[in-house]
Every structure is written in structure tokens, then in C-alpha cells.
Structure 1
Amino acid sequence: MLSLDNVSFHIGSQKILTDISLTLSKDEMVSLIGPNGAGKSTLVKLILGLNKPTKGKVINHTNVISYVPQKFSVPNILPLRVKDLLAQANPKRLSGDERAFVLDKLSLNPLLDRQIHHLSGGETQRVLMARALLDKPDLLILDEPMQGLDPDSEELLYAFIDGLPPFLACAMLVVSHDLHWVMKGTRRVICLNKHICCQGVPSDIAHLPEFVALFGQYHASHQTPYIHHHDHCQHTH
């Protein structure tokens, strides 16, 4: 679906990302983790085509990419209702029953006539998730979708992501600080700190020195987001 071949992104002499190579296959869920300033948002912008790489190639074989941002705000003077935002999705991508399923599972029917700027953080994220999925994307990018949400909203969205029905199946790239969910809920994890420090299935990378240098020792009983203690990951040759 997507591949990056030795992609670098520099601003002047500042190296934001260096030699990033990765692939994302159909229906695969990949988590992207790393400390603040690691270049996660920059990598997402390169994939979305909002930035051009300084070096290397981004090869995209998808027809539709949907994106759920970290933050979304609407000016108070703009009278945008939930149903107005959702109506912008391509009506031909899903059937009427499939659209109804998305709205029901995300508990959006009671919110359809509400103004976007009157919604809580959890309600806004559910609306953005629905808007992204109503286009039936080949690739769904979620940028810190749970940041700042209350536990109930987190649980609802995690359950929805984990249980997507076949008609919504797509490749997913999830940027997350929730290490417990990342290690439990995804098949492949990419650790980024301006370059790819390590990647692989959670059970394998949790013991790698590069992972431990960034996130400390991980135990399955951990229920809290990770705390970053180091500025640079270690390297093995």
C-alpha cells in the first residue's frame, strides 16, 4: 500500500528525519512511537504529501487516505454542525446501512444537529473518526487519537478500532503515546527518534536495547503511557 525508500527531511542544516525506510501492507495495523521531537508528525506529513522529502521516495499505491488529526477546532462564528461535516464524505464509498453502522457504533446519532465547537474532546474525536471512515479509506492515519480524552471515550474508540468490520478493513498507521495499547493491540511497532531505531512485533522489540533506551523496561501489566527518559536511542551494528 505504501513504502518509504531512504526518506530524509531536513530544514536547512537541521535534520528532522534521516534514512527512513518502511512499508505498510494492505489491512496491516502499524503503531508509530517515539519521544517528543522524534519526527512522528513530520513523517505523517510526508506520507500525506504535505511535505516533500529532502531525499528518498514516498511511493503510495492507495486510492484514498483518511487522516484523524491530534487536534481539530472550528471557529465559534462558523455554524458547522456534525451532520454538515459528515456530509462532506463521498456518499458512494459506503452503502446506507454501512454509514448507519458507523454512526451507531460511534454513538453519533444524538450529536448530528450539534455545532462542532460545542462538542467535548471525546465527541469531537468520534466525529472525526466517523468522517475519516465514511470515505472507506485504503489507509487510515490516526495521529494521537486518544490524547486528552477521558477514560470512557478512550475505551469506546479503542474498542471501535480493534473491532472494525470487514467492510471498513484498511491499512492503519497509528501514532500513539499509549504504550500499553501499542504493545497489546498492534502487530508491528516502529520506534522513531529522527530515524527508525527498531521495528517489529511487540513481543520481540520490547527487549531490544534500542527500545529499552527510549522507553525503559516494559511489562504487560503497565497501564500508563510511557515516560521518555533519553534523548537518543542506542545503536547496535
Structure 2
Amino acid sequence: MTTDVLLQASHLYLARRHKQVLTDISLNLERGRITTLIGPNGCGKSTLIRILLGLENADQGEIKRAPGLRIGYMPQRLALEPRLPLTVTGFLKLARGATHDAIEYWLDRLDIRLLAAQDIQDLSGGEWQRVLLARALLIRPDLLVLDEPVQGVDVQGQHALYRLIPQLRNELNCAVLMVSHDLHLVMAATDEVICMNGHICCSGHPDQVSVSSEYRELFGHVMPTNLQPIAHYTHHHDHRHCLDGHIESGSKPQA
């Protein structure tokens, strides 16, 4: 592997109950690049993520990881005991790399300071996703893995999160691997798209993938190449909504 390649997967195959789940998957994850896996539900995206993370073994193939690679993982779901009395800060303290200063930094950086003392069972879906992101960032990862990061997040929150991800990539100088089922949501926030359906159908820059015949065959449409990830609209009030939901007054209207 070159010095910029943090993880290299070569010719991965996996079958379950006589059904082929993954066929000949190869990819490189490079420092400073955002790669997004897209594909329909059940196409093997989350299974591939588990194999790349070492949580599951492929039947065939090889994975090479850079020595000392730090991986921050934001899962699609994380089941916790519902009767467990745990605040957001208490939950973050359980994470690897969770120092007091690191927790304080990411609470502020992700605009979730007001959630610090809140019980995790009382969080909305979008709030919980941001807390899971903070947990993944506490280790200051070389590779940040985000499995459906906008699940349960409203449209405004989706837009804010997809603006944030390139900023985090630049701040940490890390690689980012995202999983999504919708290309138009991630177009402006990714460098490379890998479209898969058990195998890699096509890959490349999102503009190229969105007009490819393989993508059209899989999703049944071709998206305009100038489509923004989330539609912009104009506000005419004198405040803005921060990620944790509180209102900051005196800001200029946002477009």
C-alpha cells in the first residue's frame, strides 16, 4: 500500500445460506478522501462495512490496514438497555479515547453542548445520530466510517451534516467512508462513489456515476448532474437554528 492508502480490500467474497452476498469487492480508502457506498437496501453495504472493520470475516479475499490505524465508527443502530440511566456525557465517557477535554471539544464542535446532561433515552433520532458521531470522533480517527449517518435526521439536519463531513475530513486529515442509499444526498459531500449491488456496479466521481448506465439500471433514473444534495431555500428571520436545536439570534438570514 502507498502511504496515503489507509485500508485496501482485494477481491472480497461472502456467501450466506448458499446466497452470494458479496462478489469480488475491491477498494482503497485514502487519507483525505471521502468515499461513499451507495446501493439499494439489502445490497451488502453494511455487511461490507463489518468486514472492513474486522467485525466479520469474508470467505475469500484480503484486507490490509495501515499500522496503528485508528477507526471511528458510527453504526446505523446501537441498541442500549432502555432502563439504563445514562446522560449524553456519561455515554461519551464510555468511548475509547474519551478524555474530559475531548468530550468538551466535540460537544462544542458538533453544536450539541445543550444535550450534555440530557438522558440518552430522551434524545430525538437526529440528536442521537449527532451523539453517535461525537463518539466516533473522540478517538480522532484516521478513518471515519459512517453507516447511514442521516438516518432519523430532518432535512435541515441532513444538509448541515453533509456540510460538516468535509470539514471534519479536513480538520482530522482522515479518510471518510460513508454508506447511503441515495446518491443525490451525498453528491456535494463526497469525492468518490462506489455503487454496489452485491458487487461493484460502477465507481468514480459522483457526477460520472449519476449518469452511468449501471446506475440508471439499478435505480431506474438518471439524476441531473447539477442537482444539489439538499434543496436550498431562503430564510427571512433574524436567527439561525444550531445543530442541537437552540436558536442563536442576531445572525444574518441564511440562503
TM-score with structure 1 setting the length: 0.86
Residue 78 of structure 2 corresponds to which residue in structure 1?
Answer: 72
Residue 131 (str. 1) matches residue 118 (str. 2): no
CA distance in 1, matches of 2:26, 2:122: 41
Residue type of the partner of 1:156?
A
Residue type of the partner of 1:50?
L
CA distance in 2, matches of 1:114, 1:164: 25
The alpha carbon displacement at 1:166 in A equals: 4.3
Alpha-carbon contact 1:133-1:168 (below 8 Å) kept:
no
CA distance in 1, matches of 2:97, 2:145: 21
Residue 151 of structure 2 corresponds to which residue in structure 1?
Answer: 147
Task: Check 1:8–1:202 CA distance in 2 against 1; reply closer, same or farther (3 A cut).
Answer: same
In structure 2, the residue corresponding to 1:163 is in which secondary structure? helix
Long gaps (5+) in structure 2: 1-5, 231-255
Task: Check 1:182–1:151 CA distance in 2 against 1; reply closer, same or farther (3 A cut).
Answer: closer
In structure 2, the residue corresponding to 1:51 is in which secondary structure? coil
CA distance in 1, matches of 2:106, 2:208: 34
Residue type of the partner of 2:89?
K
1:23 counterpart (28, 33, 44): 28
Deviations 1:3-39, CA, capped at 9 Å, x for gaps = 1111101124210001111111112100100111110
Deviations 1:177-204, CA, capped at 9 Å, x for gaps = 2322322221100000000011111122
Deviations 1:173-228, CA, capped at 9 Å, x for gaps = 1001232232222110000000001111112222221111112211133767xxxx
Alpha-carbon contact 2:107-2:116 (below 8 Å) kept:
no
CA distance in 2, matches of 1:192, 1:156: 26
In structure 1, the residue corresponding to 2:61 is in which secondary structure? strand
Alpha-carbon contact 1:74-1:117 (below 8 Å) kept:
no
Residue type of the partner of 2:155?
P
In structure 1, the residue corresponding to 2:50 is in which secondary structure? helix
Alpha-carbon contact 1:74-1:116 (below 8 Å) kept:
no
In structure 2, the residue corresponding to 1:164 is in which secondary structure? helix
The alpha carbon displacement at 1:95 in A equals: 9.1
Q: Structure 1 stretch 163-172 or stretch 128-137: which is displaced more? A: 163-172
In structure 1, the residue corresponding to 2:168 is in which secondary structure? coil
Task: Check 1:203–1:153 CA distance in 2 against 1; reply closer, same or farther (3 A cut).
Answer: closer
Long gaps (5+) in structure 1: 225-237
Task: Check 1:67–1:223 CA distance in 2 against 1; reply closer, same or farther (3 A cut).
Answer: closer
CA distance in 2, matches of 1:152, 1:207: 27
The alpha carbon displacement at 1:161 in A equals: 1.2
Residue 214 of structure 1 corresponds to which residue in structure 2?
Answer: 218
Residue 83 of structure 1 corresponds to which residue in structure 2?
Answer: 89
In structure 2, the residue corresponding to 1:16 is in which secondary structure? strand
Report % sequence identity. 42
RMSD (CA atoms): 2.1
Alpha-carbon contact 2:71-2:142 (below 8 Å) kept:
yes
Task: Check 1:36–1:123 CA distance in 2 against 1; reply closer, same or farther (3 A cut).
Answer: same
CA distance in 2, matches of 1:125, 1:54: 32
CA distance in 2, matches of 1:177, 1:148: 14
Task: Check 1:39–1:23 CA distance in 2 against 1; reply closer, same or farther (3 A cut).
Answer: same
Which runs of structure 1 show a deviation greater than 6 angstroms over 4 or more consecutive aligned residues? none
CA distance in 2, matches of 1:38, 1:206: 18
1:59 counterpart (42, 60, 64): 64
CA distance in 2, matches of 1:72, 1:78: 14
Residue type of the partner of 2:71?
I
Residue type of the partner of 1:103?
L
TM-score with structure 2 setting the length: 0.80
The alpha carbon displacement at 1:122 in A equals: 0.9
Residue type of the partner of 1:79?
P
Q: Structure 1 stretch 150-159 or stretch 212-221: which is displaced more? A: 150-159
